[in-house]
Structure 1
């Protein structure tokens, strides 16, 4: 199986350790994944803000970068959702057939559904709570796969997050265009996180963690945020 990793723009720019964690984790599980250097944006920001015509060359570049792979793994439900549900819309608008390229999997989907594992050999001795991001929950339907992976991590104490399925308020440009509403939604999420007594908030999208983490930091809550990949890649040697 020929596997490629879509690291995503936000991880490349702001959270490079998450991309590295994905490769460490996959290597530990026997997957020799590639990083196609030609990869750029998945086109989601353009599609979400209505710039479908401008998204056409970006989707073409995505298809070229990942041509020839059996599947693509990404540490983002948001970007996986865009590739699986928005690229076809862009191609139809351009009047072009979208060749069936490799399926794009969010990380937890790939681990559980493709590799068939939940125990990835991780060790993370901390109290953790998990926020299911909107695209992973609603667009991809990953269900409890991330929770199953977290429950198998040695040393991890998993606390249930109240109102977990409520949006954190980030929503990409929504947070910019509707800042007050976004902040209020994020404040609700941060309050629920603090109520769990968790040391670490985990999610599958660093974009959401950027938003919630900013609020938690300004509140001096002492709660840090980490991507699911960073937790699953952790071992006793890292402790």
Structure 2
């Protein structure tokens, strides 16, 4: 599941005439960076959710074997968006990947696949603040010695995970964040994290483009 429906308001004027996933970093639209990871990891079915200027994303990806989950008239946030896309994704745990970041190091989806275990409810890819760019100084989670996560701490969620969507249908609201599902799984002791050994840059603001491009140059052989 590629999250591609957002308004990109933090990008300011850059998203006045295009959706954020089509903003270029190092000569490639952000969504192409995300798709390259999915392709390299051998992900067989890819679904992108659409809302803001979704027609542009459809045209850009025309000819590719990608399914689209259109969110109209309202955007559904991450939880509602994933739930709406489940008929296209199929049964069982799913990868989700934000489309506003750039990575170095091992393929994050392959890292998640290697660490995933059947009794997990969620497996989030994390990195310490010091290995992130464009994010700020605050973390999101603590990674316990047994691999479980707790709220607060210096670990940043990198926008990539494997999630068992069972339970999403129990949430009454049509629009909700995946934080609701994570909190339930944390309470059950079924929310885990694993570390990304490379670098990661959040491209949520205009200045993130230059930071991401510098990071990619530094990592180039």
What is the TM-score of this pair, normalised by structure 2?
Answer: 0.28
Higher strand share: 2
State which structure, 1 or 2, has the greater radius of gyration over its C-alpha atoms: 1
Higher helix share: 1
Greater relative CO (CA pairs within 8 A, separation 6+): 2
